[in-house]
């Protein structure tokens, strides 16, 4: 097999490595391992094309962690002792769990969108590079823009596919 020339170019345009030579540094300022793409979302009678990027699953989980509901417990007497068991059927818990799942969807969509999200005053509430994130403000912006579940699902599916594709590509090499 013939050697191929490989160019590794940072997002700022700087060439980090050429040919079969390894790159000389990795920088927190670059997103070398992120896959990018687009997703078309139906808006009215047309399509809106949005830039997306792969999602860091660990970061998404970390952002969602404070919203995760605690499973309530119940105690009952069995075999001459008290037993403590999870009560996942509790309706309040199920409601909180449904809201948590919705929050996770928003986090995935916001992390996937490769654009800044700004509020009514023009302040960035969620940055394209995911360094700045105000979840509640960003959700308000998307809701105010009339983004609905169909839009969220399309973006989330595309981001999950892009993330999975990128991970598969790395594993296959």
Q: Quickly tell me which residue has 């094309």 as its tokens.
A: 49
End-to-end CA distance of the chain: 15
Helices (H), 28-173: 57-64, 91-112, 135-144, 149-172
Q: Quickly tell me which residue has 């490989």 as its tokens.
A: 6
DSSP structure string for 52-77: EE---HHHHHHHHGGGPPPPPEEEEE
CB atoms within 10 A of CB 133: 17
Q: What gap in Å lies between CA 86 and CA 73, rounded to an integer?
A: 4
For the ranges 4-8, 76-80, 151-155, the lowest mean pLDDT is seen at 4-8
For the ranges 59-68, 138-147, 157-166, the lowest mean pLDDT is seen at 157-166
Instruction: Please report the pLDDT score of residue 4 as a whole number.
Output: 46
pLDDT tens digit sequence for 59-74: 999 999 999 999 998 8
Partners of residue 38 on adjacent β-strands: 51
For the ranges 3-12, 14-23, 139-148, the lowest mean pLDDT is seen at 3-12
- Average pLDDT of the chain, as a whole number: 84
Instruction: Please report the pLDDT score of residue 44 as a whole number.
Output: 84
Partners of residue 125 on adjacent β-strands: none
The radius of gyration computed from the CA coordinates of the chain, to the nearest angstrom, equals 22
Strands 73-78 and 81-86: antiparallel
pLDDT tens digit sequence for 103-127: 999 999 999 999 999 999 999 999 9
Domain regions of the chain by residue span:
1-32, 34-172
Instruction: Please report the pLDDT score of residue 38 as a whole number.
Output: 87
Write down the pTM of the prediction.
0.74
Instruction: Please report the pLDDT score of residue 43 as a whole number.
Output: 87
């Amino acid at each position: 097999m013939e050697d191929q020339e490989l160019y590794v170019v940072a997002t700022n345009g700087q060439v980090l490595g050429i040919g079969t030579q390894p790159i000389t540094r990795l920088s927190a300022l670059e997103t070398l391992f992120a896959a990018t793409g687009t997703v078309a979302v139906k808006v009215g009678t047309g399509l809106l094309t949005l830039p997306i990027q792969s999602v860091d699953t660990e970061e998404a989980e970390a952002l969602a962690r404070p919203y995760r509901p605690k499973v309530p417990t119940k105690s009952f007497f069995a075999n001459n002792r008290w037993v403590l068991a999870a009560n996942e059927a509790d309706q309040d818990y199920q409601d909180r769990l449904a809201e948590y799942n919705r929050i996770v969807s928003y986090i995935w969509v916001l992390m996937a969108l490769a654009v800044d999200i700004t509020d009514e005053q023009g302040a960035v509430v969620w940055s394209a590079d995911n360094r700045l994130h105000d979840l509640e403000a960003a959700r308000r912006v998307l809701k105010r823009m009339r983004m609905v579940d169909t839009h969220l699902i399309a973006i989330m599916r595309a981001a999950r596919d892009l993330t999975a594709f990128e991970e598969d590509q790395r594993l296959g090499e």
